[in-house]
Structure 1
Amino acid sequence: MLKLIGAALVLFAGTMIGFVQAARFAERPRQIRHLLHALQRMETEIGYGQTPLPEALARIAQVLPPPLSGLFAETAASLQSASGGTVRDSWEKAFRSGWSATAMRPAERDAMLRLGGTLGGSGREDQLKHLRLAMHQLQAEEAAAREDQQRYEKLCRSLGVLAAALVVILMM
């Protein structure tokens, strides 16, 4: 009886590991899409609303789901504080510290860091060009993420179940 309970627990744990890994593949394109919406909103705030950057980042943070909202909120808070840091420093600090909480990869982070280096340091038109460039890069990454999701999501679930089943068979 104890062996049967142990086998069931191993099977459950292996299955859950597979499902968690599959969820990460599903979460990456969703987060990239949210990031694209955030950049579109930032483009609107800068281009048409002429909103100051800290205020625009705070507004964007309010509509984003976590963990992305934390990246923009931390940047906005850093810019609004009296520390006197540059936009680039605040942006890099927030994105480097909070990136591990996302399901995204270094390619997306690098695109966002390049964007952060140009925000607030040039004219409105130049900032809009850099925003569009970052959006194009993220759209390409989203397409790759969707391909990875289609390719690996089901595989991860199946491997989790099958690996757990193999362990159970070896235990018996």
Structure 2
Amino acid sequence: MVELIGAALILFAGTMIGFLQASRYAARPIQIRQLIYALQRLETEIGYGYTPLPEAISRCAAYLPEPVASLLLDVNRRLEQTGELTFRESWEGAANAYWPHTAMRQPEQAALIRLGSALGISDREDQIKNLKLAMQQLQSEEEAARHDSARFSKMWKSLGVLTAALVVILIL
């Protein structure tokens, strides 16, 4: 009886690990799309609203789901908390701090950090050009993420179940 309960727990744990990994693959394109949407809103705030950058970032964060909203709010918090940090340092610090909480990978982070280096130091038109460039880079990464999600989600689900089944067979 105890062996049967142990086998069921191992099967359940292996299945959940596979499903958790598959959900990270499925979440990546969604989060990239949310980041693109945030940059589109930021472009609108800067381009048409003539809104100052910190205010534009907080307005954009109000309409976004987690973890993208937390990333943008942390940029503003860092700017307000210590007046010694530049916008670039605040942007990069927030990106590095919140990146482990996302399903996104290094290419998206690199595009976001490059954008932070260009925002706040040039005129409105140049900032809009940099936002559009970052959005194009993220769109290409989103396509790759969708492809990876379709390819690897099923594999991880099956791998979790099959690995757990193998462990159960080896134990029994």
- TM-score, normalising length from structure 1? 0.98
1:2 aligns with 2:24: no
Corresponding residue number in structure 1 for 2:90 = 90
Cα displacement (A) at 1:59:
1.1
How many percent identity over aligned positions? 59
Q: How do 1:152-163 and structure 2 match up within 5 A?
A: 152-163=152-163
Deviations 1:92-118 (A, max 9, x none): 111011111000000000000000000
Contact 1:18–1:159 at 8 Å: present in 2 too? yes
Amino acid at match of 1:168: V
Amino acid at match of 1:131: L
Cα displacement (A) at 1:83:
1.6
Could you say what secondary structure the match of 2:48 adopts? Answer: helix
Distance in 2, matches of 1:12 and 1:81, equals 45
Deviations 1:29-62 (A, max 9, x none): 0000000000000000000001111111111111
Corresponding residue number in structure 2 for 1:123 = 123
**What residue ranges of structure 2 are gaps of 5+ in the alignment?**
none
Q: How do 1:46-61 and structure 2 match up within 5 A?
A: 46-61=46-61
Amino acid at match of 2:17: I
Corresponding residue number in structure 2 for 1:168 = 168
Corresponding residue number in structure 1 for 2:37 = 37
Deviations 1:78-137 (A, max 9, x none): 223452321101101110111110000000000000000000000000000000000000
Distance in 2, matches of 1:93 and 1:82, equals 13
1:80 aligns with 2:84: no
Amino acid at match of 1:28: R
Choose 68-77 or 78-87, whichever is displaced more.
78-87
Distance in 1, matches of 2:106 and 2:93, equals 15
Distance in 1, matches of 2:148 and 2:15, equals 20
Distance in 1, matches of 2:95 and 2:118, equals 15
Alignment root-mean-square deviation, CA = 0.9
- TM-score, normalising length from structure 2? 0.98
Amino acid at match of 1:120: G
1:28 aligns with 2:28: yes
**What residue ranges of structure 1 are gaps of 5+ in the alignment?**
none
Could you say what secondary structure the match of 2:66 adopts? Answer: coil
Choose 65-74 or 30-39, whichever is displaced more.
65-74
Could you say what secondary structure the match of 1:49 adopts? Answer: coil
